[in-house]
């Protein structure tokens, strides 16, 4: 064993580490594209099927193994159809040059977004206009964006207010923010199944909690009845927030989203050179 490890150590080159790093980054990006989407459950089912096939072969369960192998053959043909939305999304990201990276916000952009959000949210709260604003983080929200109307517009307080004006086409549903853009409006969110919630909480609050249970997104809610501003995160709801509360909570989160794979690669290479 020691001789084998020594042989591996002697044959490893710098490009082997680069090779491994590239594969790891690609797999991570694929994972982030699939995480918390409908495809994630299908991938888990596929993994279970593969493990069952290997186990049946090891236990020499010939009939079971034959059936599982035939099922795998059918699945290989069906996969492009089943994963068509995810494959299309991955190719779109690759074509736009966004498969390995994302838009990095500078401090000025973060402050502009925070000011726009705070101004819009409390203007709507003052006039008791119901609103639901989702801030995407690491978990992709493409499945939910597809349920609404895609916009891809810059975030401004006037634009956000205009979306939620009652009786306008997009007011009923959630707005999803991605980076410094309004990705979509009128989006449908999953409702929480928590039964211990206050009866005062309406559909917007339950949708905000429901999405925060399934993803790492932050969701701002403006109550149409009371004008109260709330923030849902990790399945919990903070109520009666002020403008300063929102900025203090969102600023570190939006700054932490600015780390991308290029920065990680530079840091890794710098650390490797220091250890040489």
pLDDT along the chain (276 residues), means of 10: 63 77 82 64 77 87 86 76 65 54 69 90 91 86 88 90 89 89 91 79 89 87 90 88 84 65 42 42
Q: Which two tokens stand for residue 200?
A: 């005062």
Query: Assign residue 97 a region: left if phi > 0, alpha if psi is -120 to 50, beta otherwise?
Result: left
DSSP output for 161-201: HHHHSTTSTT-SSEEEEETTEEEEEEE--PPP--SSS-TT-
Cα 64 from Cα 48, distance rounded (Å):
14
Give Cβ neighbours of residue 130 (< 8 Å, ≥ 6 apart).
124, 164, 171, 204, 222, 223, 224
How far is the C-alpha of 274 from the C-alpha of 39, rounded, in Å? 41
CB-count burial class (<10 Å; 0-12, 13-18, 19+) for 261: middle
pLDDT of residue 133: 94
> How many residues would you count in the chain?
276
Contact 261, 97 (CB under 8 A): no
pLDDT at 132: 93
What pLDDT is attached to residue 134? 94
Question: Concatenated DSSP letters for 222-245?
Answer: E-TTT--EEEEETTEEE-S--HHH
Q: What is the pLDDT of residue 129?
A: 92
pLDDT reported for residue 268:
38
Residue 198, pLDDT score: 77
Q: At CB < 8 A and 24+ separation, what contacts does 101-105 make?
A: 101/260, 101/261, 101/262, 102/179, 102/257, 102/260, 103/179, 103/180, 104/258, 104/260, 105/179, 105/180, 105/254, 105/255, 105/257, 105/258
- What pLDDT does 16 receive? 77
Predicted pLDDT of residue 37: 59
The DSSP code for 104 is: P
**Cα 70 from chain centroid (whole Å):** 35
Cβ atoms < 10 Å from Cβ of 168: 12
Q: Say what the pLDDT of residue 35 is.
A: 62
């Amino acid at each position: 064993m020691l001789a084998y490890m020594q042989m591996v150590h002697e044959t490893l080159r710098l490009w082997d580490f680069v090779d491994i790093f590239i594969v790891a980054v690609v797999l991570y990006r694929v994972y982030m594209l699939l995480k918390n989407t409908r495809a994630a459950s299908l991938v888990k089912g596929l993994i279970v099927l593969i493990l069952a096939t290997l186990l049946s072969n090891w236990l020499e369960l010939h009939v079971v193994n034959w059936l599982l192998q035939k099922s795998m053959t059918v699945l290989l043909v069906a996969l492009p159809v089943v994963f068509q939305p995810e494959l299309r999304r991955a190719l779109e990201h690759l074509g736009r040059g966004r498969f390995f990276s994302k838009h990095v916000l500078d401090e000025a952009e973060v402050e502009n977004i925070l000011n726009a959000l705070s101004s819009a949210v409390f203007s709507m709260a003052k006039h008791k206009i119901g609103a639901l604003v989702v801030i995407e983080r690491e978990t992709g929200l493409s499945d939910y964006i597809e349920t609404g109307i895609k916009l891809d517009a810059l975030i401004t307080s006037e634009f956000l207010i205009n979306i939620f004006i009652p009786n306008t086409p997009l007011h009923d549903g959630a707005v999803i923010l991605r980076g410094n853009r309004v990705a979509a409006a009128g989006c449908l969110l999953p409702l929480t199944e928590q039964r211990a919630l206050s009866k005062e909480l309406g559909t917007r609050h339950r949708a905000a909690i429901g999405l925060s249970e399934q993803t790492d997104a932050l969701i701002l809610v403006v109550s149409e009845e009371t004008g109260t501003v709330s923030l849902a995160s990790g399945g919990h709801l903070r109520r009666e927030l002020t403008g300063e509360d929102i900025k203090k909570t969102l600023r570190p989160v939006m700054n932490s989203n600015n780390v991308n794979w290029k920065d990680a690669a530079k840091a890794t290479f710098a650390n490797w050179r220091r250890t040489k």
